[in-house]
Structure 1
Amino acid sequence: MILNMDLSTLLLLPVHLFVWLYSVLSFLPWYFLTGASSKKILAKRIKAKSIKGQSEGPYRSVDRFETLAYMDFPGKDTLDKLFDYAVERFGREHCLGTRAVLSEENETQPNGKVFKKLILGDYKWITYEEMEVEVNHFGSGLAALGQQPRNTIAIFCETRAEWMITAQSCFRRNFPLVTFYATLGEDAVAFGLNECGVTHLVTSAELLETKLKSVLPQIPNLKHIIYVDNKSISTAGYPETIQIHSMQSVKELGAKPENLNREIVRPIPSDLAVIMYTSGSTGRPKGVVIVHSNLIAGMTGQCERIPGLGPKDTYIAYLPLAHVLELTAEISCVTYGCRIGYSSPQTLSDQSTKIKKGSKGDCTVLKPTLMAAVPEIMDRINKNVMSKVQEMNCVQRTLFNLAYNYKLEQIKKGYDAPLCNILFKKVRALLGGNVRMMLSGGAPLSSATQRFMNICFCCPVGQGYGLTETCGAGTITEVADYSTGRVGAPLICCEFKLRDWAEGGYTKQDKPHPRGEILIGGPNVTKGYYKTDFSKNNDFFVDENGQQWFCTGDVGEVHTDGCLQIVDRKKDLVKLQAGEYVSLGKVESALKNCSLIDNICAYANSDQNYVISFVVPNQKQLTAMANQKGIVGTWEEICNHPIMEMEVLKEIKNVAKTIKLQRFEIPVKVHLSPEPWTPETGLVTDAFKLKRKELKNHYLHDIERMYGRK
C-alpha cells in the first residue's frame, strides 16, 4: 500500500501524525486557558429579538432591548464636543500620520503603459494637541475668509490627514460639510456644488487642475478655493471671481489674534453636520442630510461591536473619506484615542501598483491593528494569495492546504488552530502582521473570502450592513460569531423590521425564516435628501412614536438568533420575457467564486429570455489557460478571442451548477473586458459597487452582439 503512495503523501504522514498528537494534547489546556467555551456560548446566544414577538419585527439587540442608544459619552452630543473630549484625554498621543514621498519615478510596463512608482518614508505624526491647534487655526482662517456658521462648505479631496483636519474645523464652528468622492465626475461635482450653493471649497492641487478647472465657470456662487498641498499653484486660467488659497496660508490667516479670538458659534445636536453626496450607482448623486446626533448615534452602535477599541489601536485609512463607513470609522478612532495612519489603495501593500519594487508599502510600515475594507479588496487579496499557492512546489502547496483545511474545520466549530497560524505568518505580513479585526462593508462578502481572511490573517471579520442614509449603521457581526454569509444583529442604536415584497416572492411568513425588504429605524437614520420634499419621498417615513425609518430596498432573512442575512436587492430584479424573475446581484455574488473571474456584471433585457454577462477575468489564470490552448497575443487579444469567451462561459456554468443557480439565472453569453473596473473608469463606485447604467452604456455594442442584433 505504501509503495503506491506518491512522495508528497509519504512525506506528509509524519505531519498528519504530529498535527493529530498536537491537537489531542493541546486541546484541553487551550480550551480552558483561552475561554473557548464562553466564546462559543456567545456565538450561539440569541443576539436580537422582535420587540413585539412578531416575525416582521421590529428586531432589537438583546444588549439594548428597552431603549435605543444614541450617545456613548454623557453630554458629548455633538461632534465638536467629542473632539474636545479626545484632546483632553489623549493630548500628547499620536493622532494622524502621513508618509512623506522620498522619490518618484516613471516605470514603463511590457505593454507600453507608464506607471508612477513611489519610495515613501516613515510615518510622521501629529499629536491630538497639535491637531487641535491646526483645527483652531484653519477654522478661524475660514471664518476670516467669510465662511458663516450654518452655511455649507464643500470638500472634494482624496483621503488624507488634511481631510480630517478640515472636517473637525467645520464641526467645531458649525460649518455644515458637503462631501464629494474624489473620483466623482466633473459634471456631478458641479451639480452638487450648485445645488448646495457653497461659496468655499477645500480640494487638492491635483483635483483642482484635472477636474475642477474646466467646470468652475459653471459654479457662480463659488468665491474661495483652498487647496491642501504644500506648494504654489498658478492662478492663470481661473475665473477672476474666485480666489485660490493654500491651506497653510489660511491657517496663518486664522492664527492672527484678531481672527483667532473671534466668537465661535458651536453646533447643537439637531444642527446639520454633513451633506454627503452618494457615489451615484443609480444615476445622479443625491445629497444625504446628516445632523450631529445622527452621526453620534451611528458611531455609538458601531463602536460597541469593536471590543477593546482604544489608544493601543492603529487604524489604516485608505477608503474614501466621502464614504460614510470611512468617515465614521475615523471620527470614532479619534474619539477613542487610536492612531490613524493614512494610505491609499495604490500604496497599501508592498505589491501595490505605486510602490517601487523592493520598497515598503504602508501596511508593512504602519502595522495596523484595525482595518476596514470593501469585499472587492478582500476578494483581490484572496485570489492573489491563492494564485501564489498554486505556484509553490508540491510539498509546500500540500502543507499549506493541509494547514488551511485543518484550521477551516476548527473555525467552523468555533475553535482556533494556533499551530497552523505559524504557517500563515507570511500572509499576515501582507497587512503588517498585527491586524486584530477587520470590518467589511459596502457590499456582501462571500463566505469563501470571509473564511480566507479568518484563516490566513488570523483575525475576525466583522461584516457590517448599513447605508449612507443610516450613517453606515445597521448591523455588524459580533467578534465571537463564527458563522458566514450573515451581517449580524442590529446595533444598539437602531432596530430593523421586514416588509413583504410580493413581486420578489419574499414574505414574513416564509419558512424556515421570515424574509422581506429591510426597514431600519432609530436616531442614526438621517433626515432625507437635500432639497427633496420629505413628505414626497417614499424612502423615509416617521412612525407613530416619532421615530425616523429608512426603506433600504435590500431584502433580508432573519435567522433564529436574530441575525440578518442579505438575500436580494429590489433594484437588481429583472423579469425575463418568459416571466421568470432574475436577481442580478444574486447571480453576480454566486459567480464571483469562479477562479477565472475578478469581477462580473450580469445583465438582462425584459424583452429577451436569457441572461448575459460582462466579466473582468483574472489575468494570471486566463493567460495560463490561453497558453494551454495555444492562444498567443496581447492581453486584449486573449480577452477578445472567441475560444477564451467559451472557456470562461464553461467555467461559469460549472460553478453555477455547483451552487445550484436556476437554469434561467445562468448567463448564456459573456464578454471579457481586458480593462479592470475601478472608480477612476466610472464603471464602479468608490465602494466598488457596480454602476449598472454606466456599464450598460459602456458595453452597448457587446449587449447588441450577445443578443443577436449585430
Structure 2
Amino acid sequence: MSNSQLSVLIQRQAEKYGDRVALKYRDYDTETWVPVSWKQFAETVTTTSNALLELGVGVQENIGVFSQNKPECLYVDFGAFGIRAVTIPFYATSSEAQVLYMLGDADIHYLFVGEQLQYDVAFRVMSLGTQLKQIIIFDKDVKRDKRDTSSIYFDEFLKLGKARQHQAEVDKRIAESGNGDIANILYTSGTTGDSKGVMLHHSCYEGAIKAHNERFPQLGDQEVVMNFLPFTHVFERAWSYWCISMGCQLAINLRPVDIQKTIKEIRPTAMCSVPRFWEKVYSGVQEKINETTGLKKKLMLDALKVGREHNIEYVCKGLTPPALLHMKYKFYEKTIYSLLKKTIGIENGRFFPTAGAAIPPAVQEFILSVGINMVAGYGLTESTATVSCENDFDHVVGSVGRIMPHVEVKIGENNEILLRGVGITHGYYKKEAATKAAFTEDGWFHTGDAGYIKDGHLFLTERIKDLFKTSNGKYIAPQAIEAKLVVDRYIDQISIIADERKFVSALIIPEYKLVKEYAEKKGIKYASMEELLQDQQIIDLFKERIDTLQQQFAHYEQIKRFTLLPHPFSMERGELTNTLKIKRNVLNKNYAAEIEKMYEE
C-alpha cells in the first residue's frame, strides 16, 4: 500500500462498519452519551479535509489542536492526514508561555481550541504577535472576545468543506501520501528545560499498529474503549489510533476529573491509564479494609491472599493452581472481586494497559490479585509509545513486560536502555543538535532510563538523569523511594530531596481528608491546615508510616527528615508538567526555605 494507512483509515472502516457506533461523547446538558457512526465519522473527516484546503493548508503544513479530549480532535487529525498536513496537539492545560513557544517553533497558522479556557489563552497569545491567522473553536458555548474579528466555530469551519469542492485535490494528496510524511509533532512536557517537538512519521504509527496486532490478536472490534488520558499524550494517542484501526468503539472522556463517574456510565472493556489511577483504587480499598471489622474484614483480607497466591504464584507463571485454591478463588471472584470491579465500573474490563511512571509493586500485586488484567508497559514519546509490555496474565511483578516485535533493545553503558526500530522518532523538529545528541553514532536512541533484561522481561531501575548524588558520594534513585511511599494512604504526593545534600529528605503533600479525620479522632484542635501539619502527633504519625515503608532501603537511602506541605503541588506554579510529573528544579526553588530548614543542624 503506497499511501499512508492513517490518511484513508476512517473511510476504510466506514466501508466495513457503516452505521455501527465508532465514537461516543458525553453531552453534559442532557447527561447522555451521543453516538457517532463510522459513516458519520468518515463524512466529517472528508468535510474537514475539504475545509482545511479551503483555508489554504499546504502539504506537511503544521496545524495546532489545543483541547481536552473531544471527537473533534480526531476529526481534525484524520482530516489533516487526508491532505498530508501535520497535527500538533497541545495539552489542554498549557500555559500562555508554552502555547506561544509551540506556535512560534512550529510556525502554526491555524489553531483549533476546545473550551473557554483554551480560547482565552489562545486569543491572548494571538495579540502578542504570532503567525497565527485564525482560531477555530470546538465548543459553541465559548464566548468570543469583543475584539475578536477572525475566529470561527467548528460548525462554521465545516461549512467551508460541505460542498466538497476540493475533493479532487484531497484524492490527489491521499494518492501522494506515504510513510515518509510526518503525522504529528508532539512537544514533550520537559521536566528539565525547553520542550522539544518529537516528530512522529506515518511509518512510526504503522510499525506500532502492526506490532500491537501481532502481540494482542485477542483484541478486536467488540471492545468498548474509554479514552481517559489526554489525546495529546503519546500513550492515549497511539493506543486510540490502534483501537480505531481495529474497529473498536471509543468513549471519549472530556474531563479527567469526571472519570469515576463516566467509567460507571460506560463500563468499558479496555482503557489505558497511568499508575496514579490504580494507586487511587488501591488506597480506596485499603481505606475500606481499615474501616471494616470482624468477619467482613477477615473475608476481604483472605480474598486478597487467595487472589495473590492464585494469580501471581500460579497463573502469571503459567502454572495450574491447585484445585482447592482455584475453588476458593472462584468463590471470591463471584463475591468480593466482582463487587469491587462493579464499584469501579470495570466489571466488563478485559484489558488495562498502564504506563507513564513506575507502578508501585504493592499496587501491581493487588490489581492482579483481584483479577484485573492490568498490563504494565514502558514507552516514550520518542518511541511512539510501547517499547515493551506484558500480555494477558504474563506478568512478572516489577517488570514492564517483553520487548515489542518492532523494537530492538540494547543495554548500553550505565545500564542505559537503547532503542532502535521502525517506531523510533527520526528526531526533534528543527533541533539538529538535540537530535544528534539523542542517538549513538550507529543509530541507537538514548532513552535516559536505566534497566536490565531478565528471562525476556525488561526491568527499569532508574532515570539516569534523575540520579541524585549525596554530598557523601552515594547515589540515590528518587523514583524508587517515591514509588514505595506514595502507596501509603496518608500520602498524596512526595518529592525526594537528596542532590548534593548530607542525607535524604522529602516534601510531602498529605491526603488532607484523612489527616483531618485522624485529628478529629485524636481530639487535636487546630485553626488551619498549616497549624495541623505542624502538630507533633501528626508528624509522629507520618514518621511511623514512613519508617515502616522504607525498611528495605539502605541506611543512606532512607528519609531522615520531611516537611508536610499545606497545599498540593500545582501546574500554575510550574511545579508539575502537563503529564503531572514533578519538576524538581522548580520545587527546589519554590520550597527553598522549607528545604534549607530540614538541613539546619
Distance 1:311 1:88 in 2: 14
| Residue aligned with 2:448, SS | strand
Identity %: 25
Deviation at 1:679, TM superposition (A): 5.1
| Residue aligned with 2:258, SS | coil
| Residue aligned with 2:160, SS | helix
1:373-412 correspondence to structure 2 within 5 Å? 373-412=273-312
Q: Which residue does the alignment assign to 2:257?
A: 346
Distance 1:493 1:522 in 2: 6
**5+ residue gaps, structure 1:** 1-73, 103-119, 350-360, 502-515
Residue 679 to residue 535, structure 1, CA distance change in 2 (3 Å): closer
Q: Which residue does the alignment assign to 2:579?
A: 687
Q: Which residue does the alignment assign to 1:19?
A: none
Native 8 Å contact 2:286 2:489 kept in 1:
no
Deviation at 1:394, TM superposition (A): 2.1
Residue 414 to residue 644, structure 1, CA distance change in 2 (3 Å): same
Once the two structures are overlaid, the 10-residue window that deviates more, 369-378 or 201-210, is 201-210
Residue 405 of structure 2 aligns with an amino acid whose one-letter code is I
1:430-449 correspondence to structure 2 within 5 Å? 430-449=344-363
Residue 402 to residue 75, structure 1, CA distance change in 2 (3 Å): farther
Residue 582 of structure 2 aligns with an amino acid whose one-letter code is L
Q: Which residue does the alignment assign to 2:225?
A: 315
Distance 2:591 2:214 in 1: 44
Deviation at 1:554, TM superposition (A): 0.5
Residue 274 of structure 2 aligns with an amino acid whose one-letter code is V
1:125-164 correspondence to structure 2 within 5 Å? 125-164=35-74
**5+ residue gaps, structure 2:** 316-325
1:581-620 correspondence to structure 2 within 5 Å? 581-606=475-500, 608-620=501-513
Distance 1:648 1:217 in 2: 49
Distance 2:595 2:578 in 1: 25
Residue 398 of structure 1 aligns with an amino acid whose one-letter code is K
| Residue aligned with 1:567, SS | strand
Distance 2:137 2:91 in 1: 16
1:392-434 CA deviation, whole Å, 9 max, x = no partner? 2422111111111111111122246222112122210112421
Q: Which residue does the alignment assign to 1:421?
A: 333
Task: Please say if 1:256 is aligned against 2:168.
Answer: no
1:468-510 CA deviation, whole Å, 9 max, x = no partner? 0000120001213132110111101111000121xxxxxxxxx
Deviation at 1:624, TM superposition (A): 3.8
Larger Rg: 1
Native 8 Å contact 2:283 2:488 kept in 1:
no
Residue 662 to residue 76, structure 1, CA distance change in 2 (3 Å): farther
Task: Please say if 1:365 is aligned against 2:260.
Answer: no
Residue 567 to residue 153, structure 1, CA distance change in 2 (3 Å): same
Q: Which residue does the alignment assign to 1:179?
A: 89
Deviation at 1:535, TM superposition (A): 8.0
Task: Please say if 1:671 is aligned against 2:581.
Answer: no
Residue 152 of structure 2 aligns with an amino acid whose one-letter code is H
1:375-524 correspondence to structure 2 within 5 Å? 375-415=275-315, 417-422=329-334, 423-429=336-342, 430-456=344-370, 458-501=371-414, 516-524=415-423
1:326-385 CA deviation, whole Å, 9 max, x = no partner? 001111111101000011321112xxxxxxxxxxx2112211000111011210111012
Residue 134 to residue 439, structure 1, CA distance change in 2 (3 Å): same
Residue 615 of structure 1 aligns with an amino acid whose one-letter code is I
Normalised to the residue count of structure 2, the TM-score between the two structures is: 0.92
Distance 1:682 1:338 in 2: 37
Distance 1:525 1:225 in 2: 32
| Residue aligned with 2:411, SS | strand
Native 8 Å contact 1:80 1:172 kept in 2:
yes
1:512-661 correspondence to structure 2 within 5 Å? 516-533=415-432, 537-541=436-440, 543=442, 548-559=443-454, 561-606=455-500, 608-633=501-526, 634-657=528-551, 660-661=552-553
Residue 230 of structure 2 aligns with an amino acid whose one-letter code is P
Residue 647 to residue 533, structure 1, CA distance change in 2 (3 Å): same
Deviation at 1:695, TM superposition (A): 2.2
Once the two structures are overlaid, the 10-residue window that deviates more, 84-93 or 566-575, is 84-93
Deviation at 1:524, TM superposition (A): 0.4
Q: Which residue does the alignment assign to 1:18?
A: none
Distance 2:108 2:418 in 1: 33
Task: Please say if 1:287 is aligned against 2:287.
Answer: no
Once the two structures are overlaid, the 10-residue window that deviates more, 581-590 or 331-340, is 581-590
| Residue aligned with 1:179, SS | strand
Distance 2:146 2:532 in 1: 46
Residue 84 of structure 1 aligns with an amino acid whose one-letter code is Q
Deviation at 1:671, TM superposition (A): 1.6
1:266-285 CA deviation, whole Å, 9 max, x = no partner? 22101111110112222321
Distance 2:288 2:435 in 1: 54
Backbone CA RMSD of aligned residues: 2.1
Q: Which residue does the alignment assign to 1:353?
A: none
Q: Which residue does the alignment assign to 1:62?
A: none
Residue 625 to residue 459, structure 1, CA distance change in 2 (3 Å): same
Residue 143 to residue 235, structure 1, CA distance change in 2 (3 Å): farther
Distance 1:307 1:672 in 2: 48
1:200-215 correspondence to structure 2 within 5 Å? 200-215=110-125
Residue 257 to residue 563, structure 1, CA distance change in 2 (3 Å): closer
Native 8 Å contact 2:50 2:164 kept in 1:
no
Distance 1:303 1:174 in 2: 25
1:648-689 CA deviation, whole Å, 9 max, x = no partner? 1332122111xx211111122212123334656643334332
Distance 1:75 1:261 in 2: 18
Normalised to the residue count of structure 1, the TM-score between the two structures is: 0.78
1:560-592 CA deviation, whole Å, 9 max, x = no partner? x21111011111111111111111122212222
Distance 2:474 2:196 in 1: 32
Residue 481 of structure 1 aligns with an amino acid whose one-letter code is D
Greater RCO (CA < 8 Å, at least 6 residues apart): 1
Distance 2:585 2:447 in 1: 20
Distance 2:596 2:515 in 1: 25
Distance 2:434 2:587 in 1: 33
Residue 447 of structure 1 aligns with an amino acid whose one-letter code is P
Native 8 Å contact 1:157 1:180 kept in 2:
yes
Deviation at 1:623, TM superposition (A): 3.0
Task: Please say if 1:244 is aligned against 2:139.
Answer: no
1:81-96 correspondence to structure 2 within 5 Å? 81-96=8-23
Q: Which residue does the alignment assign to 1:32?
A: none
Residue 214 to residue 263, structure 1, CA distance change in 2 (3 Å): closer
Distance 2:270 2:435 in 1: 41
Deviation at 1:205, TM superposition (A): 3.2
Q: Which residue does the alignment assign to 1:112?
A: none
- Of the three residues 72, 79, 98, the one matched with 2:6 is 79
Q: Which residue does the alignment assign to 1:59?
A: none
Once the two structures are overlaid, the 10-residue window that deviates more, 286-295 or 417-426, is 417-426
| Residue aligned with 1:436, SS | coil
Distance 2:20 2:572 in 1: 36
Distance 1:635 1:394 in 2: 34
| Residue aligned with 1:609, SS | coil
Distance 1:473 1:145 in 2: 36
Residue 535 to residue 486, structure 1, CA distance change in 2 (3 Å): closer
Native 8 Å contact 1:144 1:253 kept in 2:
yes
Residue 249 of structure 1 aligns with an amino acid whose one-letter code is E
Native 8 Å contact 1:122 1:365 kept in 2:
no
